[in-house]
Amino acid sequence: MSDPAILEELGRRFKELRLRKDIRQYELAKDAGVSLGVVQRFETGKNISVETLIKMMRVFKLLENLNDLILEEP
């Protein structure tokens, strides 16, 4: 899967999650401390910073999922 396709899929999944939780884009932006435009760009598959992704993951209580990305060495 290409990088742009991955970004598009991430944005789609975040949008679906936001809608399931009945959160508006401006509410997510406010709660995450980012601009509305950033949320809109991300949901349409545009690139955002890792810091911004972490902020939005925090709103949805998804930070524990980061542990699955990079496992610690025993």
Instruction: Say yes or no to pLDDT of 66 above 90.
Output: no
Instruction: Say yes or no to pLDDT of 64 above 90.
Output: no
User: How far is Cα of residue 45 from the mean position of the Cα atoms in its chain?
Assistant: 10
- pTM for the full predicted model: 0.85
How far is Cα 19 from Cα 2, in angstroms, rounded to an integer? 26
According to CATH, the topology of domain 3-68 is 434 Repressor (Amino-terminal Domain) (1.10.260)
Q: What is the pLDDT of residues 34-56, one digit of tens each?
A: 999 999 999 999 999 999 999 99
